Amino acid sequence: MNDQKALLQYTLRLADDGLILGHRLGEWCGHGPILEQDIALTNTSLDHLGRARSLYQYAAAVFNALPVADKAAFFTSVAIQKEVAEETAIDEDDLAYLRDGWDYRNVLLVEQPNQDWAYTVARSFFYDSFNSLFFKELSKSTDQTLASIAEKSLKEVTYHLRWSSEWCVRLGDGTDESHARMQQAINELWAYTGELFTMNDADAAVAAQGIGMDLAALRPQWKELVTSVFEEATMAMPTDAWMHKGGKDGRHTEYLGYILAELQFVQRAYPGMEW
Amino acid sequence: MAQQTTNKNEWPLWEVFIRSKAGLDHKHAGSLHAADAEMAIENARDVYTRRMEGVSIWVVESKNIHASDPGESESLYDPANDKIYRHPTFYNLPDAVKYM
């Protein structure tokens, strides 16, 4: 994989993680257990979307600078291929609205459904704790754009992690019911945490250039962080077993299709519509 | 969860005070529900400072605020009405002095 294509795929994945998790958290809008938490979640959702937007803008610029042959082969989504054939430059909206599921690179964790408050908290906690370590490393990236996006995200991520850690403790160390629900959410989502630390071709290529990092090396620190919160939350650490993966390479769970159907319907039905 | 919430197990109410910038005083911004002080500050951050309204937050549980009785307002406030000498209205403030 050449350097620019690896950078593009890597940037897209980070953007897709943000867009999909932001969408999931946004689904709570108007449904939160209490007004204040409803606002907290949609605030967080907007942080993820904002980061995704900066990353999509960068990805679009990298894509537009690729040689024509690479552009035509990069995405399998027909709508993007059509733009390439017409020699139109793509933008952030095209990346969000015109790519099909197999061109999305987000990790499987972020597309998992909200289910209940405990699942939502657990999913955010796993992702936020990973992000807090990831963006700290990425802020030292040799790629100036990624480094500055990481720098800005770090403050937001610190707050996200504070929110999700506290809710882990509140539910875990709360009533019998909240403890049981939190433990169940943790146990079920655990199998999606392995993918956060797997290295695909793009990860290896950007790590070699000092743009990315060795993700596996973050895992011991991450596990320490998770363990300390779980101890306070009186929750049992799940045992490492088989882990799901595939999202980073475009193989998703059934849930992504439904998210994209909702997310992309208007732009697909009324191309280029604005309001 | 919302449907099951009754007055009895609703989270307590908190009053929120926000300082909009260093040097100014904290002003009452509104109220919100939270399980404890820590959550109240976080909720206040999300509810009342989303548009960069503040640099500092105070919260106090609403039950700890003691208020004067509106029924007693005549005896409490009216006697001040005719004591004009208590007002520093005879001084002209220079324009440069703000926040008085």
Lowest mean pLDDT among A53-67, A253-267, B4-18, B51-65: B4-18
DSSP B72-83: GHHHHHGGGTT-
Lowest mean pLDDT among A118-122, A165-169, A178-182, A240-244: A240-244
Q: Show residues of chain A in contact with B5, CB under 8 Å.
A: 34
In this prediction the ipTM stands at 0.71
The secondary structure of B20-73, three-state, reads CCCCCCCEEEEEEECCCHHHHHHHHHHHHCCCCCCCEEEEEEHHHCCCCCHHHH
Domain boundary assignment for chain A = 3-243+253-269
Flag if A166 and B39 touch (Cβ within 8 Å).
yes
What is the sign, positive or negative, of the torsion defined by CA atoms of A224, A18, A51, B52? negative
- Reported as a pLDDT band with limits 50, 70 and 90, residue B100 is low
Give the pLDDT of residue B84. 74
Q: What CA–CA distance (Å, rounded) separates A164 from B18?
A: 24
The DSSP output letter for A170 is H
Q: Show residues of chain A in contact with B39, CB under 8 Å.
A: 166
* Structural domains of chain B in order of their starting residue, each with its CATH number: 13-86 (3.10.20.520)
Flag if B1 and A163 touch (Cβ within 8 Å).
no
> Are the C-beta atoms of residues B16 and B59 closer than 8 Å to each other?
yes
User: Which among B1, B32, B38 is the nearest to A36, CB-wise?
Assistant: B32
CB atoms within 10 A of CB A102: 14
Q: What CA–CA distance (Å, rounded) separates A183 from A168?
A: 9
Taking Cα atoms as reference points, which of A117, A126, A123, A95 lies closest to residue A263?
A95
CATH number, domain A3-243+253-269: 1.20.1260.10
- Reported as a pLDDT band with limits 50, 70 and 90, residue B6 is very low
Given CB atoms, is B34 within the 8 Å cutoff of chain A? yes
Flag if B2 and A163 touch (Cβ within 8 Å).
no
Taking Cα atoms as reference points, which of A217, A205, A245, A155 lies closest to residue A8?
A205
* Averaged pLDDT, B43-58: 89
Flag if B2 and A36 touch (Cβ within 8 Å).
no
Taking Cα atoms as reference points, which of A7, A4, A6, A24 lies closest to residue A263?
A24
Longest Cα–Cα distance of chain A, Å, equals 60
Q: What CA–CA distance (Å, rounded) separates A131 from A196?
A: 10
Q: Within its chain, how far is the Cα of A50 from the centroid?
A: 12
The DSSP output letter for B18 is E
pLDDT digits (tens, 9 = 90+) for B63-99: 999 988 888 888 888 877 777 777 777 777 788 887 7
CB atoms within 10 A of CB A241: 8
**Which amino acid makes up residue A204?**
A
- Reported as a pLDDT band with limits 50, 70 and 90, residue A254 is very high
Of all residues in chain B, the one with the smallest CA distance to A117 is B1
DSSP B87-99: S-TTSPPPTT---
Q: What CA–CA distance (Å, rounded) separates A39 from A43?
A: 6
Q: Show residues of chain B in contact with A33, CB under 8 Å.
A: 1-2
Of all residues in chain B, the one with the smallest CA distance to A163 is B42
> Are the C-beta atoms of residues A60 and A95 closer than 8 Å to each other?
yes
| A residues 10..49 contacting B (CB < 8 A) | 33-37, 39-40, 43
Give the pLDDT of residue B4. 45
pLDDT digits (tens, 9 = 90+) for A187-218: 999 999 999 999 999 999 999 999 999 999 99
Q: What CA–CA distance (Å, rounded) separates A121 from B78?
A: 55
- Average pLDDT of chain B, as a whole number: 84
Give the pLDDT of residue B21. 87
User: Which among A34, A117, A162 is the nearest to B11, CB-wise?
Assistant: A34
Q: What is the pTM of this model?
A: 0.87
What is the spatial order of strands in the sheet that B56-61 belongs to?
B27-33, B13-19, B56-61
